[in-house]
């Protein structure tokens, strides 16, 4: 079996959703996982689940929208483990007020700070350790909204995620000489807590048809276990029932009713 034994992986946004599932999957594969998010409670719950399954996790909480946080955390990882093999740059937010008619500077700052500046800060902090050890993997959770513009996600989120896609490709252009690879993952809708911030509530039936966090965890684990000579530059992944397409062609999900007796 392909494993991550001996590897140190830092997962941001690890207290919930895609980050939580990825941290659990990495730990299952044998990696030591460093968990970051602003709230300690969810991180403790994930660390407990990893410990109970026989894995190793270390909590480093903090607000990644501040550059000092990622500097501090990478310093702590380097001191404790002396290496950093994988960074999953996954923390992100959106705001309720996302149409231009409602968008305010504070919302733009929040979204760009958590989705884009934080991603840059984490990479800038991680690169020196990866260069020193002669390799490393950067995975960024961008979005379908990082590839395709639609009104659904709002301009700040869409712009920040497009920038994350560009950031990842720019890393591959420069850092391959240091054995460093960068993968940007662009998921369509995933049934996580971030959907609770949608202006139009998402039904349980819609959530059930979406990608699940574990689907993304498996995808990211596939990237993380690829041989060092393989660079997976970009992954675009969506639920089979893609609500954007369904909306465009006016398709409705088929109900699995019992056949009527004649």
By the rule CB under 6 A, 219 interacts with ligand NAP = no
Site string for ligand NAP, 155-194 (x = CB under 6 A): --------------------------------x-xx-xxx
Q: Judge whether 43 and 59 are in contact, CB under 8 Å.
A: yes
Beta-carbon neighbour count of residue 234 at 10 Å?
Answer: 17
Is 157 among the catalytic positions? Answer: yes
Helices (H), the chain: 17-28, 40-52, 67-81, 105-112, 118-133, 155-175, 204-209, 213-224, 243-249
Instruction: Please say which residue, 110 or 178, places its beta carbon nearer to ligand NAP.
Output: 110
> What's the min distance (Å) between Cβ of 258 and ligand NAP?
32
By the rule CB under 6 A, 70 interacts with ligand NAP = no
Three-state DSSP at 10 gives strand
By the rule CB under 6 A, 37 interacts with ligand NAP = yes
The pair of structure tokens assigned to 33 is: 């996982």
Name residues whose C-beta falls within 8 Å of residue 80's C-beta, 6 or more positions apart in sequence: 58
By the rule CB under 6 A, 46 interacts with ligand NAP = no
By the rule CB under 6 A, 64 interacts with ligand NAP = yes
Residues that bind ligand NAP (CB under 6 A): 12-13, 15-19, 36-39, 42, 63-65, 90-93, 114, 118, 141, 143, 187, 189-190, 192-194
């Amino acid at each position: 079996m392909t494993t991550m034994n001996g590897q140190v992986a830092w997962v941001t946004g690890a207290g919930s959703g895609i980050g939580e599932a990825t941290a659990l999957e990495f730990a299952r594969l044998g990696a030591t996982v460093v968990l970051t998010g602003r709230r300690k409670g969810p991180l403790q719950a994930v660390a407990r689940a990893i410990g109970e399954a026989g894995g190793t996790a270390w909590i480093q909480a903090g607000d990644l929208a501040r550059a000092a946080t990622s500097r501090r955390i990478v310093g702590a990882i380097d001191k404790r483990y002396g290496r950093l093999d994988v960074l999953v740059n996954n923390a992100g937010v959106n705001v309720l007020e996302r149409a231009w008619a409602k968008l305010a500077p504070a919302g733009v700052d929040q979204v760009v700070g958590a989705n884009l500046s934080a991603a840059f800060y984490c990479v800038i902090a991680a690169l020196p350790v990866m260069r020193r050890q002669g390799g490393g993997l950067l995975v960024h959770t961008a979005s379908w909204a990082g590839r395709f513009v639609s009104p659904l996600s709002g301009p700040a989120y869409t712009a920040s995620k497009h920038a994350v896609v560009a950031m990842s490709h720019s890393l591959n252009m420069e850092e391959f000489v240091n054995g460093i690879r960068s993968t940007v993952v662009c998921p369509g809708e995933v049934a996580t807590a971030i959907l609770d911030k949608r202006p139009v509530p998402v039904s349980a039936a819609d959530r059930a048809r979406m990608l699940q966090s574990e689907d993304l965890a498996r995808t990211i684990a596939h990237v993380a276990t690829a041989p060092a000579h393989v660079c997976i530059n970009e992954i675009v992944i969506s639920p089979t029932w893609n609500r954007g397409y369904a909306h465009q062609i006016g398709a409705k999900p088929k109900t699995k009713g019992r056949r009527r007796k004649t």
